[in-house]
Copies of this chain bind each other. A is one copy, B any other.
């Protein structure tokens, strides 16, 4: 870590202190050159990241000292911003940290991908991987609210139990079990109507034979491949996928949450209401100290956390 003096705000700027830094899989893409859904962060720049921050100095008409805001403060203790894209948070409405999780980007990713692309119908089977993660847990719970059979895939027995017991999944299978494919098939006796894709790799390959007629696959992540450096070894499963796409009339569609920015109001309204009514629960995994962000991020990519991963960069005065 590099230490610099706390900056001063210029005209129209604010300086804010980071309380929570969000760690999310998409960040891996910013750490490489090459095409991804966002431009890479250059070496020497501050690594980007969503934060809940508190204003410490303001020369901006819309933000006052001590305001809590959702912003992109990045991996640092203090940030200067012109306030563009920042949103004020009311700690009386919801815990500040939820603005980075269930009421933030991961929650909205689940909501938009499932409802706008997955189009789940009552009685259908919805499968989501990384079921105990910040996105997957919400996908499963929202699908449950829509009357679907919800099947999770996760990487340990503990995570599977968490998905079933705390997130209300109907079933959850461990992709590290030797008989994973058989187990997946047995918990999807009517096939799969919606597969919410956020991992790729062997898990996706196991889904393909179970896809139903006119099934839908929203694709928001491929965490299994973020560290790939070349082409995967064979056999080539592309023709197999395309055959199923054709014979089963599957729709596959990639998206990121900002594609649906114009519907953020719907998301905040519905999700707040569901949380308030006890219909959606969430888990946070809060790691203290910016010094631990690199290790925590590596753990995230390796699947070692449960729920939404946050770094507590400084104290949250509201709890």
Residues of A participating in the B interface, judged by any CB pair closer than 8 Å = 35-37, 197, 200-201, 204-205, 219-222, 224-225, 228, 231-243, 245-256, 259
| Most chain B Cβ neighbours within 10 Å, of A233, A235, A242 | A242
* Residues on the B chain within 8 Å of A228, using CB: 239
Chain B residue numbers with a CB within 8 Å of A247 are 35-37, 254
* B254 & A249 in contact (Cβ 8 Å cutoff): yes
Contact B259 A37 (CB under 8 A): no
**A250 CA to B250 CA in the complex, in Å?**
14
Q: How far is the CA of A238 from the CA of B232 in the complex (A)?
A: 8
Residues of B within 8 A of A259 (CB): 249
Q: Chain B residues near A200 (CB, 8 Å)?
A: 239, 242
Q: Which of B233, B235, B241, B249 contacts A256 (CB 8 A)?
A: B249
B242 and A237 contact, CB distance less than 8 A: no
A251 touches B249 (CB 8 A): no
Cα–Cα distance between A235 and B221 once the two chains are bound (Å)? 21
Give chain B residues whose Cβ lies under 8 Å from the Cβ of A233: 234-236
- Count the copies: 2
Q: Which of B36, B197, B242, B252 contacts A204 (CB 8 A)?
A: B242
* Those 9 A-B pairs whose CB atoms lie nearest each other, nearest first: A234-B234, A231-B235, A232-B236, A245-B254, A237-B238, A246-B254, A252-B252, A251-B253, A249-B254
Residue in chain B with minimal CB distance to A253 = B251
For the complex, what is the distance from the CA of A14 to the CA of B252, rounded to whole Å?
44
Grouping DSSP codes into helix (H, G, I), strand (E, B) and loop, the A interface class, with mixed when no group exceeds half, is mixed
Contact flag A222-B240 (CB < 8 Å), given A231-B235, A250-B254? no
From A208, which residue of chain B is reached at the shortest CB distance? Answer: B238
Among A231, A239, A251, max chain B CB count under 10 A is at A239
Contact of A249 among B232, B239, B240, B255 (CB under 8 A): B255
What are 8 A-B interface contacts by the 8 Å CB criterion? A200-B242, A219-B242, A231-B239, A232-B240, A233-B235, A235-B236, A236-B236, A245-B254
Q: Are A236 and B238 in touch, CB under 8 angstroms?
A: yes
Asked, given contacts A234-B236, A235-B236, whether A242 binds B37 with beta carbons under 8 Å apart, the answer is no
- Quick check: B251 and A225 within 8 Å, CB to CB? no
Q: Which residues of B contact A252 (CB under 8 A)?
A: 245, 250-253
B201 and A239 contact, CB distance less than 8 A: yes
